[in-house]
Structure 1
Amino acid sequence: MDSNKSPPLSEQPTQFVSGKPNKLVAAKLHKVLNASIANDTRIKAALTSLSDIPDLDETDLRRNLRGTIEKKEIATNEKFLEAFSVVVNQLENLELEMKDMQNSCIQMRGKLDDVAGETEKMIKRTGSYHEQCEANDTRIVIADRFLEKFTLSQDEIHCLTSPNTQVDNAFFDALAHLQRIHSDCKLLLMTAQQRAGLEIMESMSAYQESAYEKLYRWTQGESRSSFGGDSIDVSSLMTKALLSLGHRPVLFQTILDELAMARRDAVARAFLSALTRGGPGGTPRPIELQAHDSLRYIGDMLAWVHQACASEKEMLESLFYRNSTKTADDYQDVSTSIIKDAVFNLLDAAMEGTCRPLKTRMEQVLVLQPSAITSYKVTNLIQFYAITMGRLLRKTSSLAEALYENTDLAYKYFFKTLNAQSQRLLQNVEAPSKDLTVAPVVRDMAIQLKEILASYDSSLVMATQTTEDLQEFNFGEILDAIVEPLLQMCESSVEKFTQVDQHIYMINCIHHIQSTMNTYSFTDNKRQALMEQVDERLGLLANEQYHELLQQSGLAKIDEALKTKDTNTPLSSLSDMSANSLARTLSKLDSFLVMASADVSPQLQRLATTEHCQQIQDKVIHLLLDTYRRISEAVQNPMNGYGLEASNILPRTVEDMEAIFSFAL
């Protein structure tokens, strides 16, 4: 490239005539010179529009471009006006139509407003009618419920009043409905509807009376036909009938009297049949066949009566308490106390028929009892059943009173038997053998006492520690009635014996009787009394032995002097109480101690127990030691005047004597 060539125009500095550069012109010129036509969209659009103009040559374009364009624009606008005038005409037509439509809408809206007013009135009227319909429906329901609650259906009226219909569950359902109506009418009387309540009660009263009259006659017939036999099948209808009649005390009591009469006759016939005929086919055998065996005879009769009483009570309870609890029906809402009294009254009446034959036969047996053991067993058996059946019956019932009376009577005959036995014992007294062993009659009486004790111990009175409402009874009376006459007989049998032999024999007899009662706690008081008698007699025997040994040992004279002398008188001043005399007397003590044997004396060997022998021996030795101790203290006492010779008088000290006798203690 030629270096002298001038630079491009864009690179040449812009200069003006003034010689000063114009920055604004220079910038625009620079922009124009550097603009690219190819990249300018507006130029492209303008050139495209010019190309669309027909018959446009370059010469016209350069001369009259603006006019040409303006003509072109006017022509275009004319076409637009022609096209838009059509639109304007259509819009004017549309505006007219809209005005017509608006007028129609205004008219229609007026009509709609009128219709809305009418509709609103109609809706209000419809709502009022609807409320009236609901109120009428409620009144209908209330009326239906009222009629259902306070009126009987034709079927129910026919069932309650017609004599041709049976008494069945439908009858009791209708009666329950009638009873509920009557109860509900009482509530109406406490409200503003008193007139309605009175009218309904009046209309129901006739039905109620007819229903109870029909029920009473049916129940009366059932009582006579179904409750007079041995086997009774209690029906639920009878239970409902009795509970329903509980609202009519007079009718209810009349039916109870019918039932009581029927059951009294039935139980009495069954008892007499069991006594004389026995069971069906002879099994079980008649009770009268056991009349020779008093205990079994009375036991069989009382067992039959007890079983009949329990069965009768179970039947009566099922009659009134079939479902164990009351049903919800109002007509069965009867007082519990009324039902309880009815059961006990019927049970008392039913068992009343057994009282006379039972009491008569028991009295015959009690009178003829020769044996005290059998008499007591019979008495105890009667008392057992009196207490047992007293729990089933009321204490004031005829059967309970008869058993209580027979119990008292049995005890009277029992004590009468014991008294007769005691008289025979005292009339036929025999002396015991020489060895003083217990006589056979005492052993026999002890065996009898043991059997009576065993019978009482196994009895209900002893087991429950109660006699219920029986007369208070003390078993100690029986012990006294048996033991005291026996002891009197034993004393009478040894009246001619020595005192020692009497004591030994009585101790043996009392010990034998006492041993019979050892295992029974209810004899504690009597055993204690007998033990005191034994101790008293053992003490007397010990005194006898003591005085005998006192004589043998030579201490009796000295002991007597000590007991009889005056307190202020010296012992040495008494006759034969000098130091030499005492020394000679006490010298015999050693020989007595050598000769004394540790064995029990032959008399005491006749005691029944070695325990009693040992008690006597211990007592005697203690008495001897006490006597020697008193003598020793008296000799050593200066007031008795023995002085220095006191140590030579006593051969042995008290401690020596205790050591010597220790083998026997």
Structure 2
Amino acid sequence: MASSSTAATSLVVKTSNPLSSKVTSVLSSSYADTEFREALALLDERGIVNTPETRRQLRLDLQKEVIDSNGEIIDEFSKVSDQLRRIGATIGRLNESFNEMKKEMGAAHQATSSTLEETSRLMTQKQHLEQKQTLLKAFKSSFILSDDETAALTQMSEPVDDVYFSTLAKAKKITKDCEVLLGFENQTLGLEVMELASKNLNLGFQKLYKWVQKEFKTLNLENPQISSSIRRALRVLAERPTLFQNCLDYFAEAREHVLSDSFYTALTGSSASGVENTSIKPIELAAHDTLRYVGDMLAWVHSAAVSEREALEGLFIGEAEEIKRGIQAGREKEIWRLAEEEGDSTGDFDAVKTLNELVDRDVSGAVRILRQRVEQVIQTNEETILAYKLANLLNFYKSMFSKLLGSSSSLVESLGLLEAEALRQFRSLARDHVAALQGDFAQTPKDVRPPEFLFEALEQLSSIMKTYETSLASSDEKEADFETIMVEAFDPFTMGCATMAQALPPPADSVFLVNCFLTALNSLGPFEFTHARTSQLQAKIGTERSRLVESQYLFFRKESGLDALITALGELGDAPEDVETVSSLEAAQTSALTQAGQVLDDFLPSALMDAVEKLKYLQDSKLVQEITEEAAEKFCVDFEHVEEMLMLADELAEQKQGESDEPQSLRALFPRTSGEIRVLLS
């Protein structure tokens, strides 16, 4: 049975082997393989239908296509082979031509080798010569001035233009570069070049110096506008400080003459040579008073100085740094100046200071004429207020010129001297006026009103203070500076009032002084620079006010009949021993108290009016009321003390004598109360 099943199985295997192989082959094919997908895609492109006929014919078609393609490739390669054979023949011919040319070139090279060597040697020499020529040309351009450049730099017939300045810069550069040549062992060339360059450079600066002076001559001096060429020339000329300063001196001298003539013409209407100018209205004829005459002259000088400064600002302010560097470099080269300036810090160029000094020198001639005229005006003036107004006007312009030209300028110094002269004249006139009033100081007015000379003096002082108020000084400086004026124009009159008051009895003397001080205070009060004086006046008024209060207080005590009683009780206090002495006082006796009470009753109804009547000449009614009220208050305080002491004395007397006896009441003899006194004196 086992053998029969084995045979069956082997039969089945043999029978199914081709199919199994086919199936296995199909199943083993991977559809992810690239070639397999390309083969399927190719079949799709051919549009082949899967039929038995197609499958049998497909292999044959493919083999036929492969054979045809191989045949085409063989045909193409045969064509390539033919071309390669032709190229090989061409290359052979080229090799033959190359060999022939090589032989000919070798023969030519042998024939021209000597010529080429000679040419190479000549080319090398040419290159050396060109280098030397270039070096010589560079040396000449760097260290030697051409004939045209020398002429432009040194000859006066040539203009001072850009060519001149560029040549001058080149000459300076040559001089500096010669220091390199002097560093070599053979210094002959450097010395010769430097000597020639220095000579041309000095001639160039001399030409520039003369040209600047010539330009200053032709400049419109009425309105000097420094052109760019002159500014450039002066900037360069600053490297020669001596020549630069000489140019400035020349310009200042020329401007001084011009401005002097212009000022003289403005004053008189004609020049110094006598030529009349009808277009100008002379200051000496146009000024109707002395103050305007001096003011017009000062205004002309100020206008000239401002115009002069504006015209020269472009020269010094805009080019200040370059001029400073040029002068500094020039000073270092001028050996003879080093000894003078050693240790001197003023050698640095200050553009503003130089400008101010130049303007100051320009107007110095006009200032001399101004000073002569003003001195003449001051010396011939006989008016005190006018003398001070002249001094204040001079101070005003001195402050303006100090801001314009600096406080150290000669113009400011001249105005300062003129101001001092005007103040001396003012003080002299003020003292003469005070001396003329010495007789008035001895005549005291009957109504104790301020004297007329005080009103005149205060009116004059008010005019002076109004003038001084317009000055440019600060508030602190004004008060300090004006003190000298107060000493001359105010103190003598207040001292005269004090002298007059000594001849008056009190309280008229205090009333007179208070009236004088109040009048003065009203005049000084509106001005800020009189605070110290007003404070002094208020203190003096306070002193006299205290005297008047004391006078009114004594009036109340004496006229009320209580002076003796107040005096007697004033030193006693509320201590028992002091109270015990009250009854023994003469002023506290029955008759004395009765008499005092009657006098007090007669006095009180008109007491306040009588006290005010005593101060009727005091010009300030409010002050009269305050003084009287203060005196009345002091009197009331004293009365309260008297009342208290009398009441304490009555109480002590009652305690000593007992209830059976009734002692005489001191308070009953003196019935008025302190409340009633205050009501009647209020």
TM-score (norm 1): 0.71
1:188-230, Cα deviation, whole Å (9 max, x unpaired): 8799999987665444212211211211222233344547x54
1:66-125, Cα deviation, whole Å (9 max, x unpaired): xxxxxxxxxxxxxxxxxxxxx9xx99xx9xx99x99xx9xx99xx9xxxxxxxxxxxxxx
Alpha-carbon shift at residue 498 of structure 1 (Å): 3.8
User: How do residues 207-246 of structure 1 correspond to structure 2 at under 5 angstroms?
Assistant: 207-226=200-219, 229-246=221-238
Distance 2:205 2:648 in 1: 112
Q: 1:556 aligns with which of 563, 573, 576?
A: 563
Match of 2:306 in 1: 310
Match of 2:316 in 1: 320
Match of 2:240 in 1: 248
Query: 1:552–1:328: structure 2 CA closer, same or farther, 3 Å change rule?
Result: closer
Match of 2:382 in 1: 370
CA contact (8 A) 2:324 2:350 kept: no
Paired residue type of 1:509:
C
Q: Which moved more, 1:329-338 or 1:276-285?
A: 329-338
1:559-593, Cα deviation, whole Å (9 max, x unpaired): 23346899988243233433663355245434433
Distance 1:288 1:427 in 2: 41
Query: 1:31–1:527: structure 2 CA closer, same or farther, 3 Å change rule?
Result: closer
Match of 2:356 in 1: 344
Paired residue type of 2:554:
H
Are 1:508 and 2:500 an aligned pair?
A: no
Query: 1:39–1:361: structure 2 CA closer, same or farther, 3 Å change rule?
Result: closer
Are 1:484 and 2:491 an aligned pair?
A: yes
Q: Secondary structure at the match of 2:159?
A: coil
How many residues were matched structurally? Answer: 561
Q: Secondary structure at the match of 1:449?
A: helix
> Could you list the runs of 5+ residues in structure 1 that have no partner in the other structure?
1-17, 46-86, 112-132
Paired residue type of 2:150:
I
User: How do residues 518-557 of structure 1 correspond to structure 2 at under 5 angstroms?
Assistant: 518-557=525-564
Distance 2:15 2:480 in 1: 159
Distance 1:430 1:328 in 2: 71
CA contact (8 A) 2:590 2:669 kept: yes
Distance 1:381 1:539 in 2: 44
Alpha-carbon shift at residue 515 of structure 1 (Å): 0.3
Distance 1:466 1:139 in 2: 80
CA contact (8 A) 2:181 2:189 kept: yes
Alpha-carbon shift at residue 20 of structure 1 (Å): 10
CA contact (8 A) 1:294 1:365 kept: yes
Alpha-carbon shift at residue 508 of structure 1 (Å): 1.7
1:252-275, Cα deviation, whole Å (9 max, x unpaired): 222222222212222222222222
Match of 1:48 in 2: none
Paired residue type of 1:476:
E
Q: Percent identity?
A: 27
> Which structure: larger Rg?
1
> Could you list the runs of 5+ residues in structure 2 that have no partner in the other structure?
19-51, 61-77, 103-125, 331-346, 656-664
Q: Secondary structure at the match of 1:460?
A: coil
Are 1:359 and 2:359 an aligned pair?
A: no
1:592-625, Cα deviation, whole Å (9 max, x unpaired): 3334345862232222122211221122112202
Q: Which moved more, 1:431-440 or 1:480-489?
A: 431-440
Query: 1:25–1:391: structure 2 CA closer, same or farther, 3 Å change rule?
Result: closer
Match of 2:425 in 1: 413
Query: 1:393–1:584: structure 2 CA closer, same or farther, 3 Å change rule?
Result: same
Q: Secondary structure at the match of 1:285?
A: coil
Paired residue type of 1:610:
S
Query: 1:492–1:339: structure 2 CA closer, same or farther, 3 Å change rule?
Result: closer
Alpha-carbon shift at residue 30 of structure 1 (Å): 9.0
TM-score (norm 2): 0.69
Query: 1:308–1:190: structure 2 CA closer, same or farther, 3 Å change rule?
Result: farther
Match of 1:572 in 2: 583
CA contact (8 A) 1:545 1:620 kept: yes
Distance 2:398 2:591 in 1: 83
Alpha-carbon shift at residue 482 of structure 1 (Å): 2.1
Q: Secondary structure at the match of 1:421?
A: helix
User: How do residues 364-403 of structure 1 correspond to structure 2 at under 5 angstroms?
Assistant: 364-403=376-415
Query: 1:626–1:597: structure 2 CA closer, same or farther, 3 Å change rule?
Result: closer
Alpha-carbon shift at residue 448 of structure 1 (Å): 1.4
Compute the RMSD of aligned alpha carbons: 4.7
Distance 1:138 1:230 in 2: 60
CA contact (8 A) 1:243 1:331 kept: no
Alpha-carbon shift at residue 415 of structure 1 (Å): 1.0
Query: 1:537–1:168: structure 2 CA closer, same or farther, 3 Å change rule?
Result: same
Query: 1:543–1:321: structure 2 CA closer, same or farther, 3 Å change rule?
Result: closer
Alpha-carbon shift at residue 172 of structure 1 (Å): 2.0
Q: Secondary structure at the match of 1:426?
A: coil
Match of 2:289 in 1: 293
Match of 2:198 in 1: 205
Are 1:625 and 2:625 an aligned pair?
A: no
Paired residue type of 1:169:
D
User: How do residues 5-404 of structure 1 correspond to structure 2 at under 5 angstroms?
Assistant: 152-183=145-176, 201-226=194-219, 229-277=221-269, 281-289=277-285, 293-321=289-317, 326=322, 337=349, 339-404=351-416
Query: 1:587–1:250: structure 2 CA closer, same or farther, 3 Å change rule?
Result: same
Q: Secondary structure at the match of 2:490?
A: helix
Q: Which moved more, 1:148-157 or 1:245-254?
A: 148-157
Query: 1:374–1:496: structure 2 CA closer, same or farther, 3 Å change rule?
Result: same
Query: 1:643–1:537: structure 2 CA closer, same or farther, 3 Å change rule?
Result: farther
Q: Secondary structure at the match of 1:505?
A: helix
Alpha-carbon shift at residue 392 of structure 1 (Å): 2.5
CA contact (8 A) 1:541 1:616 kept: yes
